[in-house]
Amino acid sequence: MLDDVQFAARDYQHRARLGALRDPGRQQWLSLPVHRPRGRASAITEVCLVDPAECAHRVEATIGRLYGRSPHFPVLRGVLDQVRDAFALDDRLTTIAAVSTVALLRVLGWRGQVVRASTIPARSGRSERLADLAGHLGARVYLCGTGGARYLCQDPFARSGSESPAGPLTSPTARCGDTPARSARCGR
């Protein structure tokens, strides 16, 4: 879990876009109000929910309203129970994110474990840091979307033993060094 990076208010760190059961194209946001103790400089680990009890109610009510009629809702109900319990125990966003993500993945059969990036020694550069984290976890490949492929440099990944920052559609044009801006950023 990349828990020690800067919190991005307009990202998916405290909100989710949910599609309606009968019409997934009809979507709505489920957002949780948060407090950033150091303002925009706050790391995700520092971010707390403004009102955990209200957040728990909001999650249960929204999920129940959108998916309560699904034949699979009883399984989801178990996940919601775990998440509700987490809201009662901790007001940190990282705790709620970890509990909800793991609970959903367990329903799908995942048996892995969550490792928080904040517990792993890593260099500070974007590419170096991700390469260090991937290498520490024994990853042979680091997958990212096209956004990451635009700013990550492949050299630290190659030196760590992991493959380059290749997204789902890997091509030579998605690798660092194709443009002057990326070449300069990667020290070339």
pLDDT digits (tens, 9 = 90+) for 154-182: 788 777 665 544 443 233 333 444 444 54
Mean pLDDT of 119-137: 88
160-181: string of b/e by CB count within 10 Å (b at 16+)?
bebbbbbbeeeeeebbbeeeee
Range of the domain at 172: 123-185
Compute, in degrees rounded to 10, the torsion defined by CA atoms 118, 185, 41, 57: -70
Take residue 25 and report the two structure tokens written for it: 């194209």
**Better-scored residue on pLDDT, 87 or 137:** 87
Q: Single out the residue in 45, 78, 107 at which a domain terminates.
A: 107
Q: Where are the beta strands (DSSP E) in the chain?
A: 15-19, 27-31, 34-35, 48-49, 142-143, 165-166
Take residue 5 and report the two structure tokens written for it: 């990076």
Residue 150: predicted pLDDT: 78
Mean pLDDT of 109-117: 92
**Please, which pLDDT band fits residue 153 given cuts at 50, 70 and 90?**
confident
**Better-scored residue on pLDDT, 91 or 141:** 91
Residue 173: predicted pLDDT: 34
**β-sheet bridge partners, residue 17:** 29
C-alpha of 53 from chain center: 23
Is residue 6 a part of any domain in this protein?
no
**Tally of structural domains, the chain:** 2
The position carrying tokens 């319990």 is 85
Is residue 7 a part of any domain in this protein?
no
Take residue 135 and report the two structure tokens written for it: 């290498």
Burial of 86 per CB tally in 10 Å (0-12, 13-18, 19+): buried
54 and 103: one domain? yes
Residue 169: predicted pLDDT: 27
Residue 124: predicted pLDDT: 87
Is residue 3 a part of any domain in this protein?
no
82 and 34: one domain? yes
The position carrying tokens 């002057």 is 180
> pLDDT digit string (tens) for 17-55?
999 888 989 999 999 999 999 999 999 999 999 999 999
First to last CA, the chain: 30
Cβ neighbors of 109 (< 8 A, separation 6 or more) are none
Residue 185: predicted pLDDT: 52
57 and 139: one domain? no
Share of the chain above pLDDT 90, in %: 54
Winning range, highest mean pLDDT, from 67-81, 123-137, 153-167: 67-81
Distance CA 62, CA 103 (A): 18
